[in-house]
């Protein structure tokens, strides 16, 4: 590395990770976009993203995930309506971001509005609005590498299909015979519901809303960053038939998540009544974070 990094925030903004996903998985049937179309980085090697994944792959151990689940799944940090959570999330906007003036809510509305325009069910539209709300973890003091990033199972051998797999050599689980075999602590085709994923906004939000949305929506939320599976099919050995059925919904959701961003902001004032009614249909008046 040729520069210093903040261990909590090597990325300039959380969107930098998502832009890197777009470079790895460009929109189907279109040419891959050049890096300069997303951001003008001084270093063409994208050292900030590599450092992010070095930290992520080093520290996302089975024990680390267990600790985070024990801490955050008590949901005792804050309580607020979903719309207040979006406003809370908007404090993550990075004024130094060169590409967009859109706040987090506008990004979510772009996703949900693209889903609604295609005539999908209202629970699907709501999933588009909610899917990144778990990024509030950053506002509770969590480092970026424990909030965003490609997710993967912990407690078993890391796939070489995960981005920057070489950094897993730094992960203690790679040297632990309990965790470094193909199945690790799991059984063949045990089902992903029995598998612990690396900690971040996906798992956190899933656990928050799992009693309120249909399974298809919950799979979209829980696994939308699990690119090693829904793009690379690296963990078929842990999945059961129900997972495979539900992952069709994850694949359906993914293009809306990745490719619906645009520089034109949605009109939040006009859209808010519709989405407040939609939230009230499925979620309680306040959510515990």
> By the 8 A CB rule, do 179 and 62 touch?
yes
What is the residue-wise DSSP string for 159-223? PTTSSSGGGGGGSGGGG-TTTSSSSTTS-TT--GGGSPBPPSHHHHHHHHHTTTS-HHHHHHHHH
Q: Kindly compute the dihedral angle of the four CA atoms of residues 270, 288, 211, 275, in this order, to the nearest 10 degrees.
A: 0
Interatomic CA distance for residues 63 and 47, integer angstroms: 28
Query: Could you give the count of Cα atoms lying within 13 Å of 119 in the half-sphere of its Cβ?
Result: 0
Residue among 137, 124, 149 nearest 250 (CA): 124
pLDDT in tens, the chain (289 residues): 334 557 788 998 888 998 899 999 988 765 544 444 444 334 434 789 999 999 999 999 999 999 999 999 999 999 999 999 999 998 875 443 444 456 889 889 999 999 999 999 999 999 999 999 999 999 999 999 999 999 999 999 999 999 999 999 999 999 999 999 999 999 999 999 999 999 999 999 999 999 999 999 999 999 999 999 999 999 999 999 999 999 999 999 999 999 887 778 899 999 999 999 999 999 999 999 9
Q: What is the structure's pLDDT at 147?
A: 97
> By the 8 A CB rule, do 65 and 197 touch?
yes
Residue among 277, 267, 222 nearest 246 (CA): 222
Query: Could you give the count of Cα atoms lying within 13 Å of 2 in the half-sphere of its Cβ?
Result: 6
What's the sign of the alpha-carbon dihedral 230, 278, 268, 76?
negative
Domain positions in the chain are 15-288
What's the sign of the alpha-carbon dihedral 73, 202, 261, 125?
negative
211 by Cβ neighbours in 10 Å (0-12 / 13-18 / 19+) ranks as exposed
Q: What is the structure's pLDDT at 84?
A: 95
Cα angle, residue 284 at apex, residues 280 and 289 outer, rounded to 5°: 125
Cα angle, residue 17 at apex, residues 15 and 111 outer, rounded to 5°: 50
> By the 8 A CB rule, do 191 and 239 touch?
yes
> By the 8 A CB rule, do 108 and 132 touch?
yes
> By the 8 A CB rule, do 4 and 10 touch?
no
Phi then psi for 269, rounded to 5 degrees?
-60, -45
């Amino acid at each position: 590395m040729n520069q210093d990094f903040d261990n909590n925030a090597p990325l300039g903004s959380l969107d930098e990770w998502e832009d890197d996903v777009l470079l790895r998985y460009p929109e189907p049937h279109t040419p891959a976009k050049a890096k300069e179309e997303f951001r003008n980085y001084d270093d063409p090697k994208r050292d900030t993203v590599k450092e992010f994944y070095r930290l992520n792959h080093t520290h996302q151990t089975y024990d680390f995930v267990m600790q985070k689940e024990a801490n955050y799944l008590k949901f005792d940090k804050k309580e607020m309506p979903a719309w207040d959570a979006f406003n809370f999330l908007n404090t993550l906007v990075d004024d130094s971001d060169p590409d967009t003036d859109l706040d987090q809510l506008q990004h979510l509305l772009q996703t949900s509005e693209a889903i609604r325009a295609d005539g999908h069910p209202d629970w699907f539209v709501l999933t588009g609005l909610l899917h990144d709300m778990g990024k509030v973890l950053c506002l509770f003091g969590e480092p970026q590498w424990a909030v965003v990033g490609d997710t993967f199972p912990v407690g078993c051998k890391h796939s070489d299909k995960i981005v920057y797999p070489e950094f897993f050599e730094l992960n203690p689980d790679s040297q632990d015979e309990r965790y470094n075999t193909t199945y690790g602590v799991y059984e063949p085709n045990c089902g992903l519901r029995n598998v612990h994923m690396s900690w971040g906004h996906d798992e956190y939000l899933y656990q928050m809303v799992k009693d309120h949305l249909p399974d298809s929506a919950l799979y979209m939320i829980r696994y939308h960053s699990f690119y090693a599976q829904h793009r690379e099919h690296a963990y078929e050995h842990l999945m059961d038939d129900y997972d495979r059925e539900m992952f069709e919904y994850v694949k359906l959701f993914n293009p809306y998540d990745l490719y619906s961003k645009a520089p034109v902001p949605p009109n939040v004032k006009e859209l808010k009544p519709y989405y407040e009614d939609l939230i009230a249909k499925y979620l309680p008046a306040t959510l515990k974070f």
